Amino acid sequence: MTKTVPVGVSARHIHVSQEHVEILFGKGYELTEFKPLSQPGQYAANETVAVIGSKGQFDKVRILGPVRPETQLEISMTDSFAIGVKAPVRESGSIEGTPGITIKGPAGEVTIDKGVIVAARHIHFHTSDAAKWGIEDKQMLKVRLGGDRGLVLENVLARVSDSFALDMHIDTDEANAAGARNGDTAEIID
């Protein structure tokens, strides 16, 4: 059985807490939706911020909503070298011991003491997809991206939930190394 998954390329983005939304955009401010993402209930917000590292900064980093308990900046390894922040590869939400950064919005700025990660590649499976293919939550998979720059990604984390839609998330380094684009398909080979 061929196990085909759509590819979603994550450019640098940030998740923010409501406390930080209010520091960055003003007291009582709430995020507004620009467009929905592949995962149910998730959206790209209209709001963007600047993030400032020791060697450079990125303007207009997109906020993804809804707000989360903790602020988390997700960048590529290329980005981490460019702005001078030694971000480790981590699963989303696993931010203990990661570096912080300064975040600037139109109403104010905040310096977080942790939360900058390179997101570990992963596939969201709806429970029914995972069951059909015999894949378990937390399993590590091998996934092939085809084309002239074809490659096989190892250690692709499976995440399974009733609230997920089938989608593989890779960052821009991984996408560009493979010559892959948003909406391409990949094949789970092991």
* Residues binding its own copies (CB under 8 A): 76-78, 81, 89, 121, 148-155, 172-174, 176-179
Neighbours of 98 (CB within 10 A): 21
CB 84, min distance to its own copies, A: 15
Q: Which two tokens stand for residue 7?
A: 């590819």
Tokens 């091998």, residue? 142
CB 146, min distance to its own copies, A: 8
What is the per-residue DSSP string for 68-136?
Answer: -SS-EEE--HHHHHHHT--PPEE-TT--TT---EEEE-SS-EEEESS-EEEEPPEEEEEHHHHHHHT--
Report the residue number, 112 or 156, with the smaller CB distance to its own copies: 156
Report the residue number, 155 or 163, with the smaller CB distance to its own copies: 155
Report the residue number, 21 or 170, with the smaller CB distance to its own copies: 170
Report the residue number, 54 or 127, with the smaller CB distance to its own copies: 54
What's the start-to-end Cα distance of the chain, in Å?
12
